[in-house]
A and B are shown apart, each in its own frame.
Chain A
Amino acid sequence: MNYQEIVSHLCDQGYLATLENVSDLDCLVVSHDFEGGNLKLIHFCVDEIDCLPTFFLGNFSQYGNLAHVLPLEKFDLGSVCVGDQDSVSVNFEQPKLAFQESLERHINLLTKTILKVAWNTEELLREFYANWLRICDDSSADFICAASGDLEEVQVFSPVSGRKWGFGSKYLGITHCASSLAEFSYIAQQDKNRSIAGEGFIIPLNNLKPAPTTSELLGEWYLQTIKNNYISSKFEQKKGKRFWLIFNAQTPSGRTWFGIQLSIKGNGKKSLPKNEESLKNWSISPIRVKIFNKEKIMPRSGANLGLEGKSVLMVGCGSVGGEIVYKLGAAGIGNMVLCDPDIYTMDNIYRHVLSDHFLGCNKAIALSLELDSKFPWIKTQYEIRKLLDLRNTNHLNSFDLIVIAIGSPTHERLFHDFLVQNHIKTPVINTWLEGYGIGGHAVLDLQNANGCLRCAYVDLQTGARGLSSNLNFLETDQNLTVNHAGCGELFLPYNSVSAAQTALIATNLAIGTLLRKITSSSKVSWKGDCSDVVSRGFSVTHRYTAFDKSLQILPLYNEDCDICHG
C-alpha cells in the first residue's frame, strides 16, 4: 500500500494529512478543523484494504458520549461506526479514493454527533441495546424473561447446572402475569428442574439515559435512573441479598430490554440502594436480557404476526406435507390441524422431515408433536383421517385455508366436487410433485373467484374434463412407479429436494393467500431436470418443453373449464 500517494491525494483534496508513528505503529493522521473544534482522525496502516479504511477519533474523552463512537480501551481513541462495513463495496484498485470517501464519511458523522446534541442523544438511545451489550460480561448467562413489561415482581430461576445450550442454559425470569401466557408454559416445560436464584422487579423506564460507556460508570447510571423513574415503594422497601432489575424502555428502535444484577457485599439483607453511600455495599453488574414474548420473537425470527390468528387444515403429512407444515409454522401460522392416516416407516426416513424416533407413529401425530416443540406459539391438533373422510361443511368452513398434499388426483377431484356442491368458502391449495425430479405443482382455488382445481384438469387436447392435471410435466399413461416388493409396495421415485421445492411453492401460495396478497386463483410450478426421465425412456409433455415460468404465480383460470364456465 502506497501511503505516500494517499497522503498527497488527501492533501490535494484540502485535508491536513501526515504519516506518523503512534504507539510504535505507522499511522495516517488527519487533522480537521470544523466550526467549534478540531478532529484528529487516526488510521493504522494496513497492507491491504478489504473494507472501507477505518479511522479512530483521537482525544476521545474530551467529546463526552458520542453516538456511533465507542471507546477503545487503554488508548484515548474512539472507534467510529460509519455504516455497515460489510455491505459497502470498496474500490480497492483506487485506495486513495477509498480513503477520501471514508474520511468524508467519518467527518460528516462526527461533526453531526458533536454539533447536533439532540440528534446525538436520540442516536445514543437508538443504539442503547448495542451499547449495553458492550459492558456486559460475555461469559455470563443470558437472562430470559417472560413478562409483559409492566411494573411487577419477577421470580428468577438459575440455569440448569451443566447445561451449555438451549433454554436450560439461561437464567429465567417469570412474572405472575406471565405464568398464564403460552410462552411461559413453553419455556417451563423445557426444563423443570431449576432452582430459584432470587427475585427482582420488572421496571419500565419512561426516562431513559444513554447507556454507560464503561462498566465503571454503571453505578452512576443506576442511581440516576432510579431517581428519574417511578419504582413502587413496595419494591423500595423490600430487603434482600440479591436483586435483579429488569428494565424496559421505548427507544427510537423499539422497546428495549436490559437489566442489572445487584449483589450485597458480605452478609445480611438490605433494601435497594438509593444513593452513592448505600451503593457501596453492593456489587453491580449489567446483564443481557432476552424478552420472550411473541410480539418480540416472532417478527424478529422471521414469522409474521398477522398469521398468528390463522387456521390451516393440512391434509397429507408425507414428505411434501411435512415440509409444508414446517414452513407454515415458521411463517407464524397460529393454528394447524394435521390429517393423515399413515404410519411413519423406514421407507420414509430420507425424504421426510421427521426424525427416526417417530418410526411406527402416525405421521399426523408425530408432526403435531414436532411442531409444538419447535414453535412456541403454535397450536396443533391431529386427525387420523383421509381426505374423503373430511367432507363436512361446517368443519371445512371453519378454516382459513385447506392445503392438500396427498398426491391422489382422483380423491382430490372427488373432494373438489364436494367443495363446489356445498359452496365451501375456504380457499384450497392442492399440491403434488412428479417423480424423478422433473418438477412439482401447486394450485390455489379461491372459491368465488375465476379458476378452480378443475381448470388444472381440463384436457388440453379435447377441452373436456381430464383425469390427470394439465400442469403435469410427465405424459400420462406411463407407468412411473417402481415396484420393489409386489403390489402395495409401489412407489414413485423422488428425493427430499423435490419434496422441499414443491412444499416451497405451495407454502408461498398459502402465505400469500392468508395475507390476502394473492386474490385470484393461481397456479405455480417448478421445473426440474429431465435427464433421469429421459434416461428411463419416459416422455415429457409439451408444457414441460415450453415451460419457462418456474416459481411464478400464474392465473389458474382455463376458459374451457366447465365448472368455472357452467
Chain B
Amino acid sequence: MGDENAIFKNGGISLNISKDALAVWKNHRQINARDHEKFGVIIGSCSEIKDEYWVESITTPFPNDRSTRYSFLLRDRNHQKAVDLAFVESGGTSIYLGTWHTHPELIPTPSLIDKMDWLSCIGKNPGRQLFFVIVGTKEIRVFVRTSFGFTKLIMES
C-alpha cells in the first residue's frame, strides 16, 4: 500500500487510485483496539467513455462527523464543500465518486448497513458510477453496484 498507484478492475471498468490516497488509507487503518472507524468521500474523475476512473483525493472525518469502533455517521458539510471545490477547480471533471471507511478486520466485507447506505448514495446521484471503498487492516476492497448486486473490483497485481 502506498508506494505507487493501485488499479482495481471489474469487467469494463477500472479504478486507478492515486498513491496519495492510498497513503492516507494506510495511515487510517484501524489497527489499534481503540481506533474508531475512519471515513470520508472519494473525489475523482473519469475518462470520456467512462471506462476508467481515477481517485484523485479523499476527505477524512471533520468535527461534526461521528464514529465508534464499529460505526460512523458522515454529516459534516465540509465533505460537500471539498467536492464542490475540486469540481470547480478541475473545470468540471472532478466529482464525487463515492465513500470510503475503515473496518477493524483483515479483509473487510460490507455490512447490511453499509450496503443500504451505498444504495442511498447511488440514489442521490442518479446516472453516476460510484465506488465504495472499505479499508481493512490488511486489504483494501472496492465495491461497485452491478446488475448482480455489489461486487468487488479485482486489484491488479
Contacts and interface: CB of A to CB of B under 8 A. Distances in A.
A and B touch in the complex (CB under 8 A): yes
Interface of A: 448-451, 512, 516-520, 522, 553, 555, 557, 559, 564-566
B79 to A, nearest CB: 24
A517 B122 CA distance: 11
B50 A553 contact: no
B49 A512 contact: no
The size bracket of the interface on B is 10 to 19
Contacts of B11: 450, 520, 555, 557
Nearest to A564: B49
Given A450-B13, A450-B51, A555-B12, 18 more contacts: A448-B50, A449-B50, A450-B12, A516-B126, A517-B147, A518-B147, A519-B146, A520-B11, A520-B12, A520-B146, A522-B147, A553-B148, A555-B11, A559-B12, A564-B12, A564-B49, A564-B51, A566-B49
Nearest to A517: B147
Contact of A519 (B12, B49, B51, B147): B147
A559 B49 CA distance: 13
Contacts of A451: 12
B115 interface: no
7 contacts: A449-B50, A450-B51, A518-B147, A519-B146, A553-B147, A555-B12, A564-B49
A214 to B, nearest CB: 48
B54 to A, nearest CB: 16
B128 to A, nearest CB: 10
B19 interface: no
B7 to A, nearest CB: 16
A451 B146 CA distance: 14
A516 B145 CA distance: 12
Contacts of A512: 147
Contacts of B13: 450
The residue among B12, B126, B146 with the most chain A CB atoms within 10 A of its own CB is B12
Nearest to B10: A555
A520 B49 CA distance: 13
B51 to A, nearest CB: 5
B12 A557 contact: yes
Nearest to A512: B147
Does more than half of chain B's interface fall in helix, strand or loop, or is it mixed? Answer: loop
A520 B126 contact: no
A519 B50 contact: no
A404 to B, nearest CB: 21
A516 B126 CA distance: 9
Contacts of A516: 126
A566 B47 CA distance: 12
A522 B145 CA distance: 14
Nearest to A559: B12
Interface string B2-19: 000000000111000000
A520 B50 contact: no
Nearest to A557: B12
A552 to B, nearest CB: 9
A227 to B, nearest CB: 47
A154 B109 CA distance: 59
Contacts of B126: 516
Contacts of B49: 450, 564-566
B35 to A, nearest CB: 35
Contacts of B146: 519-520
A275 B28 CA distance: 76
A395 to B, nearest CB: 22
Nearest to B148: A553
A450 B147 contact: no
The 3 A-B pairs with the shortest beta carbon distances in the complex, nearest first, are A450-B12, A557-B12, A518-B147
A563 to B, nearest CB: 9
Interface string B95-135: 00000000000000000000000000000001100000000
Contacts of A450: 11-13, 49-51
A64 to B, nearest CB: 43
The residue among B51, B147, B148 with the most chain A CB atoms within 10 A of its own CB is B147
A518 B148 CA distance: 9
A422 to B, nearest CB: 17
A328 B13 CA distance: 31
Given A450-B13, A555-B12, A557-B11, A520 B51 contact: no
